[in-house]
Amino acid sequence: MRAELLSRVAGLRSGRTPFVLATVVRAERPTSAKPGDCALVLADGTIDGFVGGACAESTVRLESLRLLQAGESGLLRITPRADDDQAAEEGVRTVGNPCLSGGTLEIFLEAMIPPALVSVYGEAPVARALVRVGHALDWDVRASIDPTTPIAPDTSAVVVASHGRDEAAVLRAALDAGVSYVALVASRRRAAGVLEELAALGVAPALRGRIHAPAGLDIGARTAPEIALSVFAEIVEHRPEVARPEDGSATAGPVSGVALDPVCGMQVAVTAASISAQHGGVTTYFCGTGCRQAFLDDPQRFPR
């Protein structure tokens, strides 16, 4: 099973698919999982593999989605009852799961996030330097000289360094695609002219204001590599920040959809892969099949 799962990793990476590799590193009996058991958790909540029963799997799903959102990895400790007096440990997320059979699991959740994708348009010295510097940062930098090249949906930045060739067209395409960082390598005078060209094409002022022109932080760059460095520094500066919890634990920020299991009170990720039931026209989510059955046996006992 482990070999089959690990064989999928290369395909997921080549497809720029984010996922979490969950590996059991410690199991305190009684548990159904053992060290070395592993699973892949995708961004839609799908789990392929085995890291414990349904209740443990539910916790792994939720914490994996949180780590994917944060872009971090961490150690997850699942216990039958979280000790409120236990001091928070950096890099460790302890979750009390009353539905466990009585043992404790420690699972390393390794978030595999595709590197930032940067599209560079042009073949001038600065464009070539952008590719070299980006690769040194382990980013996915793709160069193009065709203004009609489609912009990938998960592109983080588009930098135009073509010295007057098709600049407005590429910039407009990047804005239309909703790319978070759009920049033009040019002098202030030519940058102003390109922005005027975009205005003539009907690009709204708010959109034109999103273009970094001239591109890069003002670090006194003169050579092509220095200009490329200033551009990547600006991309990093404008990278969205992720909120972190005060206790310094491994999770950062809430998952977009979280529900409370009305039977045990556990937090559950709201995904198509989560255990759920329909009652009274409302979808209710559960940590495991036991809680779902208890709810269906007598829904009135568990107000939502």
Q: What is the DSSP string of 158-177?
A: EEE-SSSSSHHHHHHHHHHT
- Side-chain-side CA neighbours of 17 within 13 Å: the count stands at 17
User: What percent of the chain stands above pLDDT 70?
Assistant: 90
Domain segments of the chain as ranges: 2-114+244-297, 117-237
- Lowest-confidence segment of 19-23, 96-100, 143-147 by average pLDDT: 96-100
| Chain mean pLDDT for the chain | 88
pLDDT in tens, 183-225: 999 999 999 999 999 999 999 999 999 999 999 999 999 999 9
pLDDT for position 3:
75
Average pLDDT (92-100) is: 81
The structure's pTM equals 0.75
Assess contact for 159 and 130: CB atoms under 8 A.
yes
DSSP, collapsed to helix, strand or coil, labels residue 19 as strand
**How many other CB atoms are found less than 10 A from the CB of residue 170?**
25
Average pLDDT (285-303) is: 90
Q: Which CATH class is domain 117-237?
A: alpha beta
pLDDT for position 90:
76
**pLDDT at residue 249 tops 80:** no
Task: Dig out the tokens for 45 from the structure.
Answer: 């909540």
